[in-house]
């Protein structure tokens, strides 16, 4: 009893209460230290994990650097191969140019007489009337020039919403032995130059055709030479070698059609495959004719020559300029044409190309006409 009494009395003292408070504080500190120790242990584990990850990443980075080193070495080797390939291609191109010059020397000997038979040739001009007075002036100059150069068969092939046949027949019908205007209704759609050309080809009756843009001219001697070369077995004759000169002073030029008076600088156009092209009609049909999926402006001239190359048609370019009756020209190609060009350029074999053109309705129409 006495012992319990003494304990109670001690607990009532201020000293005991102070010591009890201190004890509680010490217990709190112990618990906090224990918590800090556990947290520190977790942090240590995290640091060890991070160190391991860093070590792994360093190893991966080392491997990546090694791969990049190998890739750079491969790229360097590929660049060297491409450089050697370009050198070989340049050499091959120069060889081909030399061979072409040799071929031309055989067929274009000086002092060789080749009187042309204009009865074998039909000039086809794709046309659509516009509100541009420059273009209407150009067609007038072109038709007048061709009539004075010896052309006797000419077809204006029109693709538009309204026919100009009566105007052409009244104005130019007497300039040629055979003059025809064929009309295709456009129904408000973009000008389809390819369709216009194909319709002209279908209506033509001669073994050779020449496709003239309304603003493109070549010297009479080049027309003569083109007929001669077609007679010699060439499939395609280009009367210029991708050099174009603009005729700015049309009034003075029309007075005598003297190409030597054209003073504009020569423009070197590596992409210039149209303007004027002479064809063996049979060869033109065999490669699918013009691609009527092209509409508006752009790429159709380049695409047909891609096919001509795949079919290995015999082609030749004359070392002269194409003369262009100046007019303002569109700057943006029709988007549809770019997509079609990309598609056709993917074709690298005759078989793929043949399968494609066999589905073209205009080619089926031409073959049907031939059989009839």
The mean pLDDT value for 219-226 works out to 94
Q: Is there a domain that residue 62 lies in?
A: no
* Residues 26-58 as b or e (16 or more Cβ within 10 Å = b): eeeeeeeeeeeeeeeeeeeeeeeeeeeeeeeee
Strand 267-268 and strand 243-247: the pairing is antiparallel
pLDDT tens digit sequence for 43-68: 778 887 878 877 878 888 888 888 88
Number of structural domains in the chain: 1
pLDDT at position 348 is 77
The pTM of the full predicted model, rounded to 2 decimals, is 0.71
- Cα-to-chain-centroid distance, residue 336: 11
pLDDT tens digit sequence for 18-36: 777 777 787 778 788 878 7
* Residues 220-232 as b or e (16 or more Cβ within 10 Å = b): bebbbbbbbbbee
pLDDT at position 206 is 97
DSSP states of 81-139 as a string?
Answer: HHHHHHHHHHHHHHHHHHHHHHHHHHHS-TT------GGGEEEEEEE---S-HHHHHHH
CA nearest to 175, candidates 198, 194, 156, 190: 156
The mean pLDDT value for 297-301 works out to 80
pLDDT tens digit sequence for 66-96: 888 877 777 776 766 666 555 555 554 554 5
CATH value at residue 343: 3.90.550.10
Q: Is there a domain that residue 204 lies in?
A: yes
The domain of 335 spans 118-371
**Max intra-chain CA distance, the chain:** 154
Do residues 369 and 202 lie in contact, with contact meaning Cβ atoms separated by under 8 Å? yes
Q: Is there a domain that residue 328 lies in?
A: yes
Q: Is there a domain that residue 55 lies in?
A: no
Q: Is there a domain that residue 187 lies in?
A: yes
Distances (CA, A) of 223 to 54, 84, 118, 120, 340: 78, 41, 9, 12, 32
Q: Is there a domain that residue 102 lies in?
A: no
Q: Is there a domain that residue 183 lies in?
A: yes
pLDDT tens digit sequence for 171-214: 999 999 999 999 999 988 988 999 999 999 999 999 999 999 99
- d(Cα 157, Cα 129) in Å, to the nearest integer? 11
Q: Is there a domain that residue 225 lies in?
A: yes
């Amino acid at each position: 009893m006495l012992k319990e009494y003494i304990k109670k009395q001690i607990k009532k003292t201020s000293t005991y209460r102070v010591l009890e408070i201190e004890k509680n504080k010490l217990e709190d500190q112990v618990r906090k230290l224990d918590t800090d120790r556990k947290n520190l242990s977790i942090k240590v584990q995290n640091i060890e994990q991070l160190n391991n990850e860093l070590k792994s990443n360093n190893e991966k980075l080392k491997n990546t650097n090694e791969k990049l080193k190998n890739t750079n070495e491969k790229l360097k080797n590929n660049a060297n191969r491409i450089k050697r390939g370009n050198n070989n291609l340049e050499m091959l191109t120069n060889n081909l140019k030399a061979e072409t010059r040799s071929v031309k020397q055989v067929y274009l000997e000086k002092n060789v007489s080749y009187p042309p038979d204009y009865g074998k040739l039909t000039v086809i001009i794709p046309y659509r009337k516009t509100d541009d007075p420059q273009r209407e002036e150009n067609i007038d100059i072109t038709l007048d020039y061709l009539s004075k150069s010896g052309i006797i068969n000419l077809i204006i092939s029109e693709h538009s919403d309204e026919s100009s046949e009566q105007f052409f027949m009244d104005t130019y019908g007497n300039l040629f032995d055979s003059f025809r205007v064929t009309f295709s209704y456009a129904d408000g759609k973009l000008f389809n130059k390819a369709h216009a050309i194909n319709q002209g080809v279908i209506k033509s009756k001669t073994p050779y055709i020449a496709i003239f843009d309304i603003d493109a001219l070549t010297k009479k001697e080049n027309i003569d030479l083109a007929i001669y070369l077609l007679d010699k077995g060439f499939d395609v004759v280009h009367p210029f070698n991708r050099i174009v000169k603009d005729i700015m002073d049309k009034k003075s030029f029309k007075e005598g059609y003297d190409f030597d008076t054209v003073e504009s600088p020569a423009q070197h156009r590596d992409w210039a495959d149209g303007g004027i092209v002479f064809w063996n009609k049979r060869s033109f049909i065999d490669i699918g004719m013009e691609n009527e999926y092209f509409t508006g402006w752009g790429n159709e001239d380049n695409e047909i020559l891609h096919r001509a190359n795949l079919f290995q048609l015999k082609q030749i370019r004359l070392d002269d300029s194409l003369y262009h009756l100046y007019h303002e020209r569109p700057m943006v190609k029709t988007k549809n044409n770019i997509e079609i060009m990309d598609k056709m350029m993917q074709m690298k074999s005759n078989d793929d190309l043949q399968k494609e053109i066999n589905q073209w309705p205009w080619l089926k129409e031409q073959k049907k006409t031939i059989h009839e």
